[in-house]
Amino acid sequence: MSVPAVAPPRTGRLARAAATIATVAVVLVLGYPLLWILASSLRAAGETATGLSLWPQEFTWSNYTAGWSGSNGVGFGRFFLNSTVVAVGAVVGNVVTCLLAAFAFARLRFPLRRFWYAVVIGTLLLPQHVLMVPQYMLFRELGWLNTPLPLIVPKLLATDSFFIFLIVQFLRSLPENYDEYARTDGASPLQLFRHVILPLSRPAITATAILTFIWTWNDFFPQLVYLPLVEDSTAPSGLHQYAIAGGLSAPGPMFAMSVLSLLPVLLFFVAFQRLLTTSTTTGRMAAHLPRPRGRR
């Protein structure tokens, strides 16, 4: 963190107490539902599942084993495998193609560059649901329904313009004279990318990979449309079908599977929370707007 915006004012004891109470309230409101799912997933079947308590009277793992077998003969192991295939494919696609496009936008000069970058920003603002019907018909024509291809191939074509934007912001923060040196030494643009930019881009690549994984893992609408069969379902849509098929009457296993479906997101978040909540991603978002002069 740099210098705090407003230098900590010399506040009185009362104001400080109020701030502490407010902070505790925020923590409670945000943390309670998360702890509550966890508690509900460990409660024995006899206990009221919807209660206020965060401490089960009796701890049991049986909800996890009961829920894992899934519904309609398809277990959650299958759902997780499907989710992993989709998420890993999306990560590879986004990282490779968005990085290449972002490098071109940030470090190369070519005709119509500004125009195409304006198009990137335009597609960033385009509501994705507008495209669902025609894309569905396109992928149906290609025979890709009930396969993960409609969820992966668009990422291989860099359609997630948010990440182009994110990486461009990052690359613009790297010193220009690195490129100058490389060019003076006769490096081609591709060599410049391979030997100079790529090794320096690790934070942006990691942020892209993590966010793509988390967002794809949680995605529900496209999965619902393109993978409607139970055996093709990803973890969220499998969970939804499980809830409809009787989970609401047996909440313990449903919450156990909810916890498991959130677990990969949680693990990635814990491992990379510093990267996600500090400068690389959010700071760049803020930084693309003009900053006060004299500060970099």
Number of chain residues interacting with another protein (CB under 8 A):
123
Contact between 254 and another protein per CB under 8 A = yes
d(CA 80, CA 226): 17
- As a whole number of Å, the end-to-end CA separation of the chain is 14
Contact between 22 and another protein per CB under 8 A = yes
Q: Helix/strand/coil (H, E, C) string of 268-282?
A: HHHHHHHHHHCHHHH
User: Residue 55: how many CA atoms within 13 Å on its side-chain side?
Assistant: 0
Beta partners for residue 59, in sequence order: 43
Among the listed residues 164, 166, 209, 227, the single contact to another protein using CB under 8 A: 164
Among the listed residues 81, 128, 231, 267, the single contact to another protein using CB under 8 A: 128
Sign of CA dihedral 85, 88, 93, 94: positive
Contact between 104 and another protein per CB under 8 A = yes
CA distances to 9, 74, 100 from 53, rounded to whole Å, are: 39, 32, 51
Q: Which residue in this structure is represented by tokens 């978040």? A: 269
Contact between 125 and another protein per CB under 8 A = yes
Q: Give Cβ neighbours of residue 70 (< 8 Å, ≥ 6 apart).
A: 76, 78, 79, 238, 242
Among the listed residues 110, 115, 143, 229, the single contact to another protein using CB under 8 A: 110
Residues 67-96 that bind another protein (CB under 8 A): none
Among the listed residues 14, 46, 50, 55, the single contact to another protein using CB under 8 A: 50
Contact between 97 and another protein per CB under 8 A = yes
Among the listed residues 57, 72, 181, 231, the single contact to another protein using CB under 8 A: 181
Q: Are 269 and 82 spatial neighbours (Cβ–Cβ below 8 Å)?
A: no
Interior CA angle at 246 toward 245 and 251, to 5°? Answer: 135
Contact between 57 and another protein per CB under 8 A = no
CB of 168 to another protein, least distance (A): 12
> Of 13 and 109, which has the nearer Cβ to another protein?
109
d(CA 41, CA 247): 12
Per DSSP, the three-state class of 43 is strand
CB of 59 to another protein, least distance (A): 19
Contact between 286 and another protein per CB under 8 A = yes
CB of 227 to another protein, least distance (A): 12
Contact between 236 and another protein per CB under 8 A = yes
Contact between 261 and another protein per CB under 8 A = yes
Where does this chain touch another protein (CB under 8 A) — which range of 20-28, 57-65, 66-74, 84-92? 20-28
Among the listed residues 17, 81, 118, 126, the single contact to another protein using CB under 8 A: 126
Contact between 1 and another protein per CB under 8 A = yes
Beta partners for residue 71, in sequence order: 74
